[in-house]
Structure 1
Amino acid sequence: MESALAEIEFLALSSNRVMVLESLAEEPHTRSELADATGASQPTLGRILRDFEERRWISRTGREYAATATGRLVADGVTDLLAIMETESKLRPVMEWLPADVMGFDLGRLRDATITVPSRTRPSAPVKRVNEALEHAEEVRVCSHAFNEGTLKTVRERVVAGRQRFNGVFSRAAIDALAEDDVLRVRLCELATAESATIRRHPEEIPIAITIVDGRVYLLVRDDDGVLQAAIDTDDPEVLSWARSVHEEYWNAATPLEPDAL
C-alpha cells in the first residue's frame, strides 16, 4: 500500500506529469507536441519522460512516445480520481444538507452540475436560477415539500397562456400554506383548473424538492431549519432518470387537487 501511495504522490505533486500521461494515453505524441499540449518546458518533459520510461508507463517508437497498457491503466485511474475530487470539492459546501440517502444515483454524476448558492447580494439566487428556467420551459414536473410564490406565479402565467405543460405533486403542507393566502389561493385554483396542468396533493411530507424542466433536473437543498442553501442542476441522464422515477413514485401515491376543496 505504501508503494502505491508513493506513486500517487509522485503524480499528484506535478500537474505536468498528469497532463503528459493523460495525453500519451489518448494517442502518441512527440516531445514538441507534448510541449504544445501541456506548456511544459523541454527540460521538464525530459525528466517526466525518463521517469515514466523507468516505470514502464510509456514506450518510444522513433520520435513518438505512447502509453503502455499499464500506463493507460494508471492514466485512467488518475483521471477518475481527479473527477471524484473535483466533484467532492464542488459539493463540499452543501454536502451537509444534501439528501444523499434518497438520491438514488452516484454522486459522481454531479461532476458537471451547476451549484447556485445564496449570497449577501443575491440571497434568492437558488430560487431565481430555477425560475429563470421555468420562464422558458415547455414541460415541467415538480415533486416538492414547498411551492413558493415566485414559482407559482411563473408557472401559472405560462400554463394559462398555453405555453407550458405542468405536473406537480406537493405535500399537503405546501398546498395548505398557499390556500391560507387569498391571492395565492386564486392563482393556485387558476393553475389547477388549466387544461395543460395537473396538481396532486401527497398526504405525507415530501422530503425532497425536485423540478424537472424539459430535460434538466433542479434540486433545491435546504438545511434543517428549512432555509434554502443551494440549487443544483444538471442534465445528466442518470440523474434525470432518477428524478423522473421519484416524481412518478410520489405522483402515484398522491390524489388530484380539487380546487373546490381549497
Structure 2
Amino acid sequence: MTSDRGHDGAQYLAGSPVRVAMLRALREEPRRPADLTATVDATRTTIQRILAGFGERDWVVKRGAVYRVTPTGKRVHDAYETLLEEVERADRYGQFAADLERAGVDFPPEALAAGELTVAAGRNPLAAVDRLTELLREGCGAEMRAVSPVVIQQFNEAAADALDAGATIELIIDRDVVETSVSEFGPATERALTDDDATVYVASEPIEYGVFRYDEIACVTAYDRRNNPQCVLESTDSTVLEWVDEQFESFAADAVRLSEIVDNA
C-alpha cells in the first residue's frame, strides 16, 4: 500500500507546474539557481523555496553552487512523466476504450495507443464514418474482411467502388440490419448476393463494434449507445492485426450466408 508520505510527495510535485518544470530541468543536467531562473517561469525566491522542498524530500542535493537530481529524484521524475503520458493517453483513447468496454469487448490495453484514432466530434460528427469510407476506397484491389453492426449508404458505395477496382470482400453484418439492408439498399444487397467477389454473412449474435482488415492495416470501430460509429482505431501493429483476425473468425464461426437468410425469408 502506498504510504501517506508517498501521497504527500505526489501532491507536492503535481501541485505546481513550476515544480514539475524544475525537476525536469534538473533531470536533464545539474544547474545553478540562476540557470533555473532562465529556464523556468519563476522568481528567484520561488526557485529557492522549491529547491528547499526538493532537498527535504531527497530529490536533489546541492554540491557547491550547483543543484543535482538524486537517483530518487530521477525515479520520481520519470514516474511522474509516465503518469502524465498515461493521463494524456486516457484523454485521447478514453472514449474508444469505454465504448468497447460497454460492448463487452476484450481489447488488449497495450494496443490502445498502437495506431491512429479518428473520433467523431462536435465539429465533425461523421469523422468516423468518413474515415472508414476512405479506408474502403483505399483498399481497392485488396482482400477485405469486415464485421459491422450497421449498414450505411456511404459504406455500400465505397465497397462497390472497391469491388469495381478488383477487391474481394467478406462482410459479417448484424442480423437486426438484414431487413434494412434488403428494403433500403436493394442494389447493394443484390450485388452482395450475385457478385462472386463479395460474400456477406449474417452473425448469429448481436454485433456491438466493428472490425476491418486489408493488407497490413487493421481497424477497430467503437459505436455509441445509438449505434453510431464514434471512434476508429487504425493500426499496423501486429497485436491489433491478430486481434482483428481473431474477432472476425469468432463471428464467422457461427455466421450464415446472407443468401440463406434471404431465401428463407
Q: CA deviation at 1:91?
A: 5.0
Are residues 82 and 161 of structure 1, via their aligned partners in 2, closer, same or farther at CA, if it must alter by over 3 Å? same
Q: Deviations over 1:82-129 (max 9, x none)?
A: 23322333456677644343133227824975342253x644332112
- Which structure is larger by alpha-carbon Rg, 1 or 2? 2
Q: Deviations over 1:121-178 (max 9, x none)?
A: 644332112212322234543122223221121022112212x443322223334431
Aligned mates of 1:142, 1:64 — CA distance in 2: 61
Are 2:95 and 1:104 equivalent residues in the alignment? Answer: no
Residues 116 and 234 in structure 2, CA contact (< 8 A), matched pair in contact too: yes
2:228 is matched with: 228
Unmatched 5+ stretches in structure 2: none
CA RMSD of aligned residues (A): 3.7
Compare 27-36 and 229-238 and name the one that shifted more.
27-36
Aligned mates of 1:156, 1:88 — CA distance in 2: 37
1:152 is matched with: 156
Residues 221 and 229 in structure 2, CA contact (< 8 A), matched pair in contact too: no
Are residues 58 and 165 of structure 1, via their aligned partners in 2, closer, same or farther at CA, if it must alter by over 3 Å? farther
- Please point out which of 5, 8, 11 is paired with 2:10: 8
Aligned mates of 1:148, 1:2 — CA distance in 2: 54
Q: % of aligned pairs identical?
A: 21
Letter in 1 for 2:14: A
Aligned mates of 1:235, 1:66 — CA distance in 2: 42
TM-score (norm 2): 0.74
Match of 1:99, SS state, is: helix
1:245 is matched with: 246
Aligned mates of 1:35, 1:142 — CA distance in 2: 57
Unmatched 5+ stretches in structure 1: none
Aligned mates of 2:159, 2:224 — CA distance in 1: 22
Match of 2:138, SS state, is: coil
Q: In the TM superposition, what are the counterparts of 1:67-216 in structure 2 within 5 Å?
A: 67-90=69-92, 97-100=99-102, 101-106=104-109, 109-110=112-113, 114-119=117-122, 122-137=124-139, 138=142, 140-162=144-166, 164-181=167-184, 182-189=186-193, 192-194=195-197, 197-212=198-213, 214-216=216-218
Residues 192 and 200 in structure 2, CA contact (< 8 A), matched pair in contact too: no
Compare 6-15 and 197-206 and name the one that shifted more.
197-206
Compare 180-189 and 7-16 and name the one that shifted more.
180-189
Aligned mates of 1:234, 1:41 — CA distance in 2: 42
Residues 110 and 236 in structure 1, CA contact (< 8 A), matched pair in contact too: no
Are residues 57 and 139 of structure 1, via their aligned partners in 2, closer, same or farther at CA, if it must alter by over 3 Å? farther
